[in-house]
Amino acid sequence: MYQMKEAILCKYGEVILKGTNKKTFENQLMNEVRRRAALVGDYTVRYNQSTVYVEPNNEEAEDMLDVMYAQIGKVFGFAGICRAAVCEKTLEAILEKAKEYLPEKLAKYKTFKCTAKRSDKRFPLSSPELSGEVGAAILETIPDITVDLNEPDIIVKIEVRETYAYIHAGQDRGAGGMPLGSAGRGMLLLSGGIDSPVAGYMMMKRGMTVDCVHFESFPYTSEAAREKVLTLASELTEYCGKIKVHIISLTHIQELMRDNCEEDYFTLLLRRFMMRLASKCAEENHCEVLVTGESLAQVASQTMKAMCVTEDAADRPVFRPCIGMDKEEIIRISREIGTFATSILPFDDCCTVFTPKHPRTQPELAKVLVEEEKLDVEALVEEAWLTRNTVVLYQEL
């Protein structure tokens, strides 16, 4: 018979503050943990009192606990996660387990404190009595460690729950944010750059389900540029499990713009076409908002005026999670989430095709509209819309 030795405990983040709809958030959180658990092995996932328990059901799953723990670290909605030794709910078993499990965990610390919690009030010792017993066992087994009740280097926690007792020391930060799927759907305009994958991640972190739309301009942009974007999207599946990428061609629009419109307005006109097509794509895929990687004043097309002109062509709100971030901060997040190396691969984006030498930084909408009238906007949108195709990507371990 398999006897579980270690489990993963995950503590809720903001979900804890929810009222009557807490259950919905909990279910979303559980779905995401279960989805990941199924990728790794045979685990039982359950929750109790603002903690999710991930428990191996066999030796193989126990051996994969490192991998499972890394997966749990990417689940939005948890503030803290830890591994815990599991044992029977008797004082004897708890003390034996503490002596076996804790020396390695406490090795690098000088002072500690024990706290105990019983959700099973039938347990014969009170919480202070239990923490006293475990504290004494630690002092006995680990040389040179002392108790500090006020400012311990590490806190040892014993939790006597309904089926087992859990012993753990120290916890890691969870991914934070809100459970995936808890905050509606958005359509992310995903380029091959650094910023838009970060924008997608930021929204996922707040619980948004994200679809992507990518615009290309073949043959001015390459097959490799498309592959790069798909790689970025599959890197984002690390955080959301599944992602759809809709790809739309802007080639004809860009050629007509080049032939008919004033060069200074190329980027703005292009971005307005992106907004219209992204809005259509959002409508078709039930996304209530658009999401971009824009950051105030980063480039000519991201001045406040330019963004107003761009947004005017969208039929729904545009979320810009990077709006107040410096490039440096965006790059830091990009490195942390693992998209940076792909983002800096040197392939052209349709925004860099026919780039104006002197892009307008303080554009007037009226002037932009005059340029736009030189094109049959509606027909071009319909034509580009027909070029769309969709790729669905899934997380792989």
State the minimum distance, in angstroms, from the CB of residue 293 to Mg ion. 7
DSSP for 299-343?
SGGGSHHHHHHHHTT-SS-EE-TTTT--HHHHHHHHHHHT-HHHH
The residue of the chain with the least Cβ separation from ligand ATP equals 193
**Whether 294 contacts 307, CB under 8 Å:** yes
Report which secondary-structure segment, H or E, holds 307. Answer: helix 304-311
Alpha helices (runs of H) in 166-297, residue ranges in sequence order = 195-205, 223-240, 251-260, 266-284
95 binds, among Mg ion, ligand ATP, none (CB under 5 to 8 A by kind): none
Closer by beta carbon to ligand ATP, 34 or else 305: 305
In whole angstroms, what is the distance from residue 185 CA to residue 163 CA?
38
State the minimum distance, in angstroms, from the CB of residue 295 to ligand ATP. 7
State the minimum distance, in angstroms, from the CB of residue 322 to ligand ATP. 8
| 65 CA to centre of own chain | 21
In whole angstroms, what is the distance from residue 233 CA to residue 37 CA?
22
State the minimum distance, in angstroms, from the CB of residue 283 to ligand ATP. 17
Total number of residues that touch Mg ion (CB under 5 A): 2
State the minimum distance, in angstroms, from the CB of residue 265 to Mg ion. 18
State the minimum distance, in angstroms, from the CB of residue 191 to ligand ATP. 3
Closer by beta carbon to Mg ion, 56 or else 197: 197
State the minimum distance, in angstroms, from the CB of residue 191 to Mg ion. 4
Nearest residue to 335 via CA among 133, 198, 219: 198
In whole angstroms, what is the distance from residue 112 CA to residue 49 CA?
25
Closer by beta carbon to ligand ATP, 111 or else 361: 361
298 binds, among ligand ATP, Mg ion, none (CB under 5 to 8 A by kind): ligand ATP
State the minimum distance, in angstroms, from the CB of residue 185 to ligand ATP. 16
Nearest residue to 160 via CA among 132, 112, 126: 126
Closer by beta carbon to Mg ion, 178 or else 194: 194
**Whether 139 contacts 111, CB under 8 Å:** no
**Which residues between 50 and 69 bind Mg ion (CB under 5 A)?**
none
Closer by beta carbon to ligand ATP, 9 or else 353: 353
In whole angstroms, what is the distance from residue 106 CA to residue 108 CA?
6
**Whether 115 contacts 157, CB under 8 Å:** yes
Give φ, ψ of 219 to 5 degrees.
-90, 5
Closer by beta carbon to Mg ion, 279 or else 301: 301
Angle among Cα 314, 319, 324 to the nearest 5 degrees reads 130
Residues that bind ligand ATP (CB under 6 A): 189-191, 193-196, 214-215, 274, 292-294, 298-299, 301, 349-351
299 binds, among ligand ATP, Mg ion, none (CB under 5 to 8 A by kind): ligand ATP
For 393, what's the count of Cα atoms within 13 Å in the CB-facing half-sphere? 23
194 binds, among ligand ATP, Mg ion, none (CB under 5 to 8 A by kind): ligand ATP
In whole angstroms, what is the distance from residue 376 CA to residue 77 CA?
46
> Does 200 participate in binding Mg ion (rule CB under 5 A)?
no
In whole angstroms, what is the distance from residue 194 CA to residue 239 CA?
17
In whole angstroms, what is the distance from residue 217 CA to residue 350 CA?
5
Closer by beta carbon to ligand ATP, 131 or else 292: 292
Query: For the CA atoms of 79, 85, 88, 91, what is the dihedral angle to 10 degrees?
Result: -100
209 binds, among ligand ATP, Mg ion, none (CB under 5 to 8 A by kind): none
Closer by beta carbon to Mg ion, 93 or else 323: 323
In whole angstroms, what is the distance from residue 337 CA to residue 375 CA?
41
State the minimum distance, in angstroms, from the CB of residue 326 to ligand ATP. 12
Q: Return the number of other C-beta atoms located less than 10 Å from residue 111's C-beta.
A: 15
State the minimum distance, in angstroms, from the CB of residue 96 to Mg ion. 59
Closer by beta carbon to Mg ion, 38 or else 344: 344
215 binds, among Mg ion, ligand ATP, none (CB under 5 to 8 A by kind): ligand ATP
The residue of the chain with the least Cβ separation from Mg ion equals 193
Closer by beta carbon to ligand ATP, 214 or else 272: 214
**Which residues between 34 and 53 bind Mg ion (CB under 5 A)?**
none
Nearest residue to 304 via CA among 282, 323, 325: 323
**Which residues between 167 and 196 bind Mg ion (CB under 5 A)?**
191, 193
The site for Mg ion (CB under 5 A) is made up of 191, 193
